[in-house]
Structure 1
Amino acid sequence: MFSTTRKALTASLLATALVATLTTPSFADKKSDLEKEKSGVSGKIGDAKKDLELSSKKYADALAALKKAQGKLDAARTTLSGTRGALATAKAQDDEMQAKLVASEAELDAAKARLGRGEKALATSEAAVEQFAVENIQQGDPGMRAFSELLQGEEPSAFSEQMSLNDAVSDDQLATMQGLAATRVILEVNRDKVKKLRDKVKAQREAAAANLVRKRELEAAAVSQATEVAQLVSDRRGAADSAEEVRREDKKQVAELESERTRLEAQIRALTPKQVKEAGGDGGGALSYPASGYGVTSSYGMRFHPVLHVYKLHDGTDFGVPCGTPIKAAAGGTVLQTYYNAGYGNRVVLNNGSMRGKSIVTTYNHLTRWIVSPGQRVSRGQVIGYSGTTGYSTGCHLHFMVIANGQTTNPAGWL
């Protein structure tokens, strides 16, 4: 809230209350001219109220849209980051799986080659053993054949040589038979190894294929999510630009209206420097609580404004009252004005006359409605309106102000 506005407003309100006491022609003429000028400015302010209120609502909506856009953007970026991480993992797994698959296939090929050689060796050994068996059957027992030849007059030395040869052949055939058995065992081992390697390669190919599908899905998702993030970045930028544009419009409009009002009300203040005490009052030295029984939720002083989001003077004391709570005059006096302001909402301004040697004006802001009229005299404790949350407000409360000699002051020193 703007302290310069209050300075000007105080003088304006005092002038309004006292203008009826000015009877000289010069005062009346000048008053009439100023009142006409004031009426024109008030009309401009009144015309701008709806736009200013709408603009402020637009700003709040723009901030909400910006926050929502930022939330979506943060979530989308997190999702994209997770997808890219999963994609990197899938790619690494793909490379690892391919390397293992190549090694397994090479091992399988080598095992197949060994198996092929073993099968050929087995076939050769089986053929040799088969030939030996056939010959043995056709020629009979070699030992018996040599003994028969000996009986038929063959030399004994020939018989000995034939028996030695038979022994050598038997040993060779025995070795062949043993080799055949060993070949069959090795061949079976190789066959089992080939089978296991084939199963291993099959499983690796299936896993690699599944990982490849997942990798492609992740790649597609990453592209889609990156596009979404780009759009959300654009949306957020647009929301931020909109919020900043409306904020600039608000500040500019408020500054222009307050500057004009300050200029005019300063002139009205200069007309009535001696009429302050004639406004009324009950002669008390302190103010009563305008909403008794309710605690203070925000004190007078600098604070971060919850709507405008800037540090500025909080020019009064907030009482945490529910909407519709009766609000009472803090002291007797005269109602100077009742009107709506985009910042203060519905407000009642009372001229409480002189207290402790100072001109005291109290204002009651953000009301739902008022039940008094300008020029009406009220007594201390009289209900003048009902609390609300109009204007720049984040919830139901009463914003109570004390203006002493045209300057805002801490209400706590007067209550």
Structure 2
Amino acid sequence: MFPTTRKAALAVLLVAALIAALTSPSFADKKDDLEKQKKGVSGKIDDAKKDLEASSQKYAAAVAALKRAQGKLNTAQSKLNNTRGALATAKAQDAQMQAKLVSTEAQLDAAVARLSKGKAELRASEAKVEQFAVQNIEQGDPGMRAFSELLQGEDPNAFSEQMSLNDAVSEDQVATMQSLAAARVILEVNRDRVTKLRDQVKKQRKAAAANLVRKQQLEDAAEAQAAEVAQLVTARRGARFTAAKLRAADKKQLESLEADRRSLEARIRALTPKQVRDAGGDGGGTLSYPANGPVTSQYGMRFHPVLHVWKLHDGTDFGIPCGTTVRAAAGGTVLQTYYNGGYGNRVILNNGRMRGKSVVTTYNHLTRWTVSPGQRVKRGQRIGYSGTTGYSTGCHLHFMVIANGSTVNPMNWL
């Protein structure tokens, strides 16, 4: 009996210890930390995408216009460069074609001259052959004539001389005939050469003419594209001037925004202990979420990629549509409600002491507020509606926490 009772008691103690561990402050804190980390993940991701988070809508539009103008100019310049390259190639080809055409035409002229000379030589050879033929017909065979004369009693020496002369004449006739045959062959070769050169000249002239047309087209295109580039340069210069002007305005507005934050922090530090005690805070250790929506931008220092300045994003942004209810993160007293060029419509709430510190929360870029200075509010009470007034690029709530007169990360208090 006793062992059984002892086991039961031990089991009860173990269960109690487990429950205590699960409900202990350390476990609860760890759970809260995990929840905070989970809620902040989307905000960290969005932070990396908000290149123009601290810019006005006009400046963001001007930067976009400048990028478009630069893109068009880059495209036009690339096109012009390609056209000019093609034009340079066409000009080089034109020079080469002209040189080649001149050379081919010179070869053609030389071939025609050779052809004419060959025709003359052929006619001369043909005339000489014709003369030999006529003589043979008129005078008969010289050899037979000399033999007949020998038979008729002529001197044998004369016969020998006549036969030698006949041999020489025959050799000359053979040479003339060979020259005639060669002249005919050369004539045909020259004719083929002239025909080929004439065809080649014709093709080269046609190609040169086509290249000349292309060169003219490229020159016209290059001229038109150069004019377009000049116009785009002017447009880009205008867009750059506009962007620079708005950038300067945005920097000035940013400086005003930071000056306003420093002024507010100074006023909060000047609050008397009595004002803090009389704030009517609910004494909680944490703040409630002022709106139901994702965190779109976290608290912290960041380098603006366009303005090229380090700036403090002094609160946490909640991405909610304009007109969404905004609630008090804790009980307290309304210190101020006013419009600021940077923060837009804002409500400043004194939440009294929390975790041993004087805590003030601010709600910014509101469409409008529903409370008035000096009014006491409870945690979760509606104090206004979200908007995009002031220095804002879209509907959201910019929520700030100021502890002992200095801005702090709101996520550490929610």
Provide TM-score, normalisation by structure 2. 0.74
Cross-structure match for 1:235:
235
Cross-structure match for 1:45:
none
1:63-82 aligned at under 5 Å gives the runs 63-82=63-82
- Whether the 8 Å CA contact 1:402–1:408 is kept in 2: the answer is yes
Q: Which one-letter code corresponds to 1:234 in the other structure?
A: T
Cross-structure match for 2:19:
none
Cross-structure match for 1:403:
402
1:74 shift after superposition: 1.9
Structure 1's 94 and 234: CA in aligned 2 closer, same or farther, altered over 3 A?
A: same
Residue 196, structure 1, aligned to residue 200, structure 2: no
Matches of 2:348 and 2:271, distance apart in 1: 20
1:133 shift after superposition: 1.8
1:175-186 aligned at under 5 Å gives the runs 175-186=175-186
- Whether the 8 Å CA contact 1:60–1:307 is kept in 2: the answer is no
Counterpart of 1:285 in 2: which secondary structure? coil
Counterpart of 1:318 in 2: which secondary structure? strand
Matches of 1:253 and 1:299, distance apart in 2: 21
Deviations 1:39-92 (A, max 9, x none): xxxxxxxxxxxxxxxx94443333233222222222222222222222222232
1:359-370 aligned at under 5 Å gives the runs 359-367=358-366
- Whether the 8 Å CA contact 2:57–2:392 is kept in 1: the answer is no
Counterpart of 1:290 in 2: which secondary structure? coil
Q: Which one-letter code corresponds to 1:103 in the other structure?
A: S
Deviations 1:95-150 (A, max 9, x none): 32233223222222222222222111111111111222222222233333334333
- Whether the 8 Å CA contact 1:306–1:394 is kept in 2: the answer is no
Cross-structure match for 2:280:
280
Structure 1 residue ranges without an equivalent (≥5): 1-54
Structure 1's 329 and 305: CA in aligned 2 closer, same or farther, altered over 3 A?
A: farther
- Whether the 8 Å CA contact 1:307–1:393 is kept in 2: the answer is no
Residues 322-331 or 179-188, more deviating: 322-331
Structure 1's 265 and 297: CA in aligned 2 closer, same or farther, altered over 3 A?
A: closer
- Whether the 8 Å CA contact 1:307–1:392 is kept in 2: the answer is no
Task: Pick 1 or 2: higher relative contact order, CA cutoff 8 A, min separation 6.
Answer: 1
Structure 1's 59 and 322: CA in aligned 2 closer, same or farther, altered over 3 A?
A: closer
- Whether the 8 Å CA contact 2:269–2:405 is kept in 1: the answer is no
Residue 62, structure 1, aligned to residue 62, structure 2: yes
Q: Which one-letter code corresponds to 1:359 in the other structure?
A: S
1:316 shift after superposition: 1.1
Residues 320-329 or 208-217, more deviating: 320-329
Identity of aligned residues (%): 76
Counterpart of 1:279 in 2: which secondary structure? coil
Matches of 1:285 and 1:267, distance apart in 2: 23
1:312 shift after superposition: 0.6
Structure 1's 261 and 400: CA in aligned 2 closer, same or farther, altered over 3 A?
A: closer
Q: Which one-letter code corresponds to 1:168 in the other structure?
A: A
Q: Which one-letter code corresponds to 1:68 in the other structure?
A: R
- Whether the 8 Å CA contact 1:277–1:359 is kept in 2: the answer is no
Cross-structure match for 2:313:
314
Structure 1's 281 and 250: CA in aligned 2 closer, same or farther, altered over 3 A?
A: same
- Whether the 8 Å CA contact 2:265–2:406 is kept in 1: the answer is no
Structure 1's 76 and 57: CA in aligned 2 closer, same or farther, altered over 3 A?
A: same
Structure 1's 138 and 62: CA in aligned 2 closer, same or farther, altered over 3 A?
A: same
Cross-structure match for 1:117:
117
Deviations 1:201-239 (A, max 9, x none): 222222223323333333333333333333333332232
Cross-structure match for 2:28:
none
1:248 shift after superposition: 3.0
Structure 2 residue ranges without an equivalent (≥5): 1-54
Residues 129-138 or 327-336, more deviating: 327-336
Matches of 2:368 and 2:199, distance apart in 1: 85
1:240 shift after superposition: 2.0
- Whether the 8 Å CA contact 2:362–2:401 is kept in 1: the answer is yes
- Whether the 8 Å CA contact 2:266–2:405 is kept in 1: the answer is no
Residue 103, structure 1, aligned to residue 103, structure 2: yes
Cross-structure match for 1:42:
none
1:156-171 aligned at under 5 Å gives the runs 156-171=156-171
Counterpart of 1:102 in 2: which secondary structure? helix
1:7-406 aligned at under 5 Å gives the runs 56-252=56-252, 274-291=274-291, 295-305=294-304, 310-321=309-320, 326-367=325-366, 375-385=374-384, 387-406=386-405
1:184 shift after superposition: 0.9
Structure 1's 317 and 58: CA in aligned 2 closer, same or farther, altered over 3 A?
A: closer
Structure 1's 197 and 369: CA in aligned 2 closer, same or farther, altered over 3 A?
A: farther
- Whether the 8 Å CA contact 1:367–1:387 is kept in 2: the answer is yes
Matches of 2:219 and 2:137, distance apart in 1: 74
C-alpha RMSD of the superposition:
3.4
Counterpart of 1:135 in 2: which secondary structure? helix
